[in-house]
Chain A
């Protein structure tokens, strides 16, 4: 994604390059992760101009993607359910930078940005949301069921993705690929039984799965303290080591992600990461998001812990780029998303026959009306 972006904007990048400081490196400290049954990563890292600009661009793309989705939903072009990731960008960006494109990710329904980070085009994503033929799932899945290479969705049923993530990890171990599986879930899903079944199997068989709890403090409208016994999600797997990470700091996420990936790849078995993150928007587009929490709380997080703002401040403070250059990036992203959404809006709807394809591997007669009139391939 960044390489595509750079090709398009070589003029911009050239401008940034000439402005860089000699070494272009920045040393950063961040909040140390809480650890359980492991030592955890260091709380400092060295980053450079490329990485900083890359994070800024990626997270701006995520934020813009979700903003455009919001607009399309309000225009009733997207229907059904739509869960936005606004505020949680650092988790997606940080994790992706800690793993490779050959590793596998599975998450719940807040999945739009993972599609981008895994390599799908914005047009594919918008088309799927708009239920068009050019969508990644041919328009048959919608917001919650997006899939692409090494990304298994996009799951509507809460918690169902966790045992599946463990299964994906088993395949990696069995085939000796050296890849890891990231099974992501939320604080609400952390109370589902199947998650603990997955923990047990992963631990018993030392599967290379990183269980990641994106704790945004609210399971739909229910706060953590009203639904969950105990405080911490990273210790809940009891016999599985865990880390609690500041999920709004992309570098903290990246370091924890790298630590966890190395842990799994070295054959030590599963590990749990709890991401302390926050969503500014409601649970879904039908939730205003302020009946169970105060506006002050939301604004407070937005002003003090916003992931994109954090990176912007680091860039400006270390003179990696100027405000104007960052604005150019933002404008380019805005343009990219707008063009993609226009293309998606203009795309055709799926053909009617897609209603009865992909039920089984072979196209079989689908009973709908009397048998003689069933849909036959």
Chain B
């Protein structure tokens, strides 16, 4: 079946990367039927988009943990993405408060609070602004437990930040910095892709006894809508989700990229009859090596896709581990479909992002290798 379709592959139009006409095909914001995760004993559900689900998650965390506090720039009135709407009214200004414009201060302040046993949920308004706080996060938060031999820790710390391309963000409102933090031992990095999972992962992150950086795909804040259980539930960190099972090729991604990949997967299925296994990593660090390895041993072909630049991106880490563990099972080189090694561009965004067509092409190439 597969061999027969390979002939079809050659007759398909290949999009020219150097076209001067902007790509008019639909992107991740067009309606994709993304399969919702089933939560056991879900109980009552409510239609929520991503920011509402995150809001709901924080509401539950604040309710159950009297030591939880939320702070960041503009969180008081609800935040620039409305993730904290209503929380100040509900829990008071001493638990939900604004900070001045000082990311390094916010991070350091949060670490201190966590070291004293509070549960700080700090917000960095855009992931692009997290860099003044980089020193605090990498040198203080990540190493607290280690350097004190376990006497002190800031495990109850959670830092939330919107990340990723949004269509018009340009250099400083679109970056994906997950690999800078993934490479730092002592930190956990989590990236949800749907409202249901965002709420579950956020609750798990807040309650996790290690510092967690929680990156939220800002593109999905309004556009991703699901029936989210209103109760308290957690999704364990470090576990990937097999969104769709398949047998010809493994596709790995996270966050907003999942919908792009699903689009590519559907295209591959319809046009070429390729059965793709789609995996949502969910936790970047520690990532679910076993699930990925098991899948690759089954299919023998892998594509990893993320918006961050290719060189040194998290796909590199996953690729290296896969080739270490599954070398003899691989039928083709591991493909990484990522952003280019340039600063995130403004007008060139449509060319830069790893869209569904680039992924589709990569699937084609990998299958015929």
Contact = CB atoms under 8 A, between A and B. Distances in A.
Contacts, number: 114
Contacts of B339: 368
B34 interface: no
A359 interface: yes
Contacts of A355: 340, 342, 345, 348, 351-352
Nearest to A135: B347
A140 B347 contact: yes
Contact of A368 (B172, B341, B346): B341
Interface stretch (B17-25, B44-52, B261-269, B318-326): B17-25
A282 to B, nearest CB: 13
Interface string A135-164: 000011110110000000000111100000
A356 B340 contact: yes
A131 interface: yes
B98 A227 contact: yes
B127 to A, nearest CB: 12
Interface stretch (B101-109, B229-237, B247-255): B101-109
Interface stretch (B163-171, B181-189, B291-299): B163-171
Contact of B104 (A145, A193, A291): A193
Contacts of A140: 345-348
A327 B101 CA distance: 42
B91 interface: no
Contacts of A144: 170, 172
A213 to B, nearest CB: 13
A236 to B, nearest CB: 13
Most buried by A among B17, B105, B342: B342
Interface in B291-339: 309-311, 335, 337-339
Interface in A188-212: 188-189, 191-194
B101 A80 contact: no
Interface in B59-111: 73-74, 77, 98, 100-102, 104-105
B31 interface: no
A191 to B, nearest CB: 4
A46 interface: no
A191 B342 contact: no
Interface centre among A144, A226, A367 (most CB of B within 10 A): A367
Nearest to A191: B100
Nearest to A187: B101
A228 B340 CA distance: 40
A99 to B, nearest CB: 28
Contacts of B338: 368
Contacts of B105: 191, 193
Of the listed residues B98, B101, B131, the one surrounded by the most CB atoms of chain A closer than 10 A to its CB is: B101
B170 A359 contact: no
B310 A368 contact: yes
A79 B170 CA distance: 10
Interface of A: 79-81, 131, 139-142, 144-145, 156-159, 188-189, 191-194, 219-222, 226-228, 291, 349-356, 359, 366-370, 375
27 contacts: A80-B173, A81-B168, A131-B346, A131-B347, A139-B347, A140-B346, A142-B346, A144-B172, A156-B172, A191-B105, A194-B132, A219-B100, A221-B74, A222-B74, A222-B98, A291-B77, A352-B348, A352-B351, A354-B348, A355-B348, A355-B351, A366-B340, A366-B342, A367-B309, A367-B311, A369-B362, A370-B335
Please list the 10 inter-chain residue pairs (A to B) with the smallest Cβ-Cβ separation, ordered nearest first. A191-B100, A156-B172, A131-B347, A368-B340, A355-B348, A80-B168, A227-B100, A79-B168, A188-B101, A142-B346
Given A80-B169, A139-B346, A220-B73, 6 more contacts: A189-B101, A221-B77, A222-B100, A359-B342, A367-B340, A367-B341
